[in-house]
């Protein structure tokens, strides 16, 4: 496999994931609107938003660190796309190396880091409150998310290679079918909810009191790139969950692709349900949830996985 081929895959993943991610965001907005007895935006809404942001002026605040301020949004887009590329190549069985699940775990941290870097470079007071919350949120959900990864790794015979985890699930059925698998899946859903900044954990962006939080000073295409990061993450994150607990997507057969899309929709519906039925948590409640209950649950899950349940 040449470097050129990987570059081709990267571009392909970038285009397809951003388009499908924006459609998934539209599903989110539309379902939310229907739940509130509204009509909701048309299907092309997120594309129109992005093109509009592309056409807007980019303002760089006087106090900002210009280099960091401009480069942070690109960091997020690139990291999520690389994670998506690795997952896609694992699905097509072209690449799999030891501990690539841990690599993806790291890469999925970078979008939050990009928000923290961008927010702190903008030199705004409200942005600094936003990034302090984002930082605590990041510290919060990483611990249970890692526990969830360990559950999947232990279940599939002490391996952190995504290819091996998928192979195990092809032979023995999906990990979600066991008790520890269900625990891992619940933790993964909640941690991804935090990563995506969806409602119970949207305290870093808090439109109400922080006026956009860490993104307050961003305008034009740089804000659009943050939206794009979120769109790509809305595909990459659930795909990672699907490959950890739900047996991945078999892209070699049409039936496999259809079942993969159904699996994705199940995860998306869970996100939207949690988003629409919960109010925002305070930062102390968030940390208590992640470091308290979910980490305990994760440890119980690991013990169950070791016991073979």
Partner 1 sequence: MNLKTKALKKSLWVYHMSGGSCNNCDIEILDCLTPRFDIERFGMVLVGSPRHADVLLCTGIVNKKCIERVKEVYKQTAKPCVVVAIGACACSGGMFRDGYQMGGPLDKIIPVDVYIPGCPPKPEAMIAGIVKVLEKLK
Say if residue 299 is exposed, middle or buried (CB neighbours under 10 Å; 0-12, 13-18, 19+).
middle
Assigned token pair, 68: 């960091």
63 binds partner 1 (CB under 8 A): no
44 binds partner 1 (CB under 8 A): yes
- CA 75, CA 114: separation in Å to the nearest integer? 6
The set of residues, in sequence order, having a beta carbon less than 8 Å from that of 51 and lying 6+ positions away, is none
Instruction: Find the part of the chain contacting partner 1 (CB under 8 A) among 46-54, 160-168, 193-201, 274-282.
Output: 46-54
15 binds partner 1 (CB under 8 A): no
Q: Which of 68, 26, 55 is nearest to 43 (CA)?
A: 26
43 binds partner 1 (CB under 8 A): no
Q: Which of 48, 99, 158, 258 binds partner 1 (CB under 8 A)?
A: 48
**Cβ of residue 118: shortest distance to partner 1, in angstroms?**
13
Q: Which of 1, 37, 125, 279 binds partner 1 (CB under 8 A)?
A: 37
58 binds partner 1 (CB under 8 A): yes
**Site map (CB under 8 A) of partner 1, residues 201-230, x = contact:** ------xx-xxx--xxxxxx--x-------
Q: Which of 1, 3, 4, 42 binds partner 1 (CB under 8 A)?
A: 42
Assigned token pair, 155: 């279940």
Q: Do residues 210 and 122 touch, judged by C-beta distance below 8 A? A: no
Instruction: Find the part of the chain contacting partner 1 (CB under 8 A) among 30-38, 84-92, 188-196, 289-297.
Output: 30-38
Nearer of residues 132 and 172 to partner 1, judged by Cβ: 132
Binding site for partner 1 (CB under 8 A): 29, 33, 36-42, 44-45, 47-52, 54-59, 207-208, 210-212, 215-220, 223
């Amino acid at each position: 496999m040449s470097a050129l081929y990987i570059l081709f895959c990267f571009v392909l993943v970038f285009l397809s994931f951003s388009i499908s991610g924006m459609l998934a965001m539209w599903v989110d907005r539309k379902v939310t609107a229907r739940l509130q007895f509204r009509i909701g935006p048309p299907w092309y809404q997120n594309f129109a938003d992005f093109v509009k942001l592309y056409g807007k002026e980019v303002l760089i605040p006087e106090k900002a660190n210009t280099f960091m301020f401009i480069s942070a949004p690109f960091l997020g887009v690139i990291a999520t796309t690389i994670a998506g590329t690795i997952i896609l190549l694992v699905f097509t069985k072209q690449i799999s190396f030891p501990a690539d699940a841990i690599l993806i775990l790291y890469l999925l941290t970078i979008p939050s880091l990009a928000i923290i870097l961008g927010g702190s470079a903008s030199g705004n007071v409200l942005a600094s409150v936003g990034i302090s919350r984002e930082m605590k949120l990041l510290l919060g959900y990483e611990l249970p998310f890692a526990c969830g990864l360990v559950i999947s790794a232990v279940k599939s015979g002490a391996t952190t290679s995504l290819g091996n985890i998928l192979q195990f699930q092809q032979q023995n059925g999906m990990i979600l079918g066991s008790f520890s698998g269900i625990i891992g899946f619940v933790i993964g859903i909640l941690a991804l909810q935090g990563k995506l900044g969806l409602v119970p954990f949207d305290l870093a962006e808090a439109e109400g009191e922080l006026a956009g939080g860490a993104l307050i000073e961003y305008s034009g295409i740089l804000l659009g790139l943050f939206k794009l990061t979120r769109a790509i993450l809305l595909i990459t994150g659930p795909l990672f969950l699907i490959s950890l607990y739900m047996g991945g997507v078999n892209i070699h057969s049409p039936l496999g692709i259809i079942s993969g899309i159904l699996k994705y929709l199940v995860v998306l519906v869970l996100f939207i349900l949690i988003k629409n039925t919960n109010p925002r948590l305070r930062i102390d409640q968030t940390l208590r949830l992640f470091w308290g209950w979910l980490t305990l649950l994760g440890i119980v899950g690991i013990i169950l996985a070791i016991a073979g349940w």
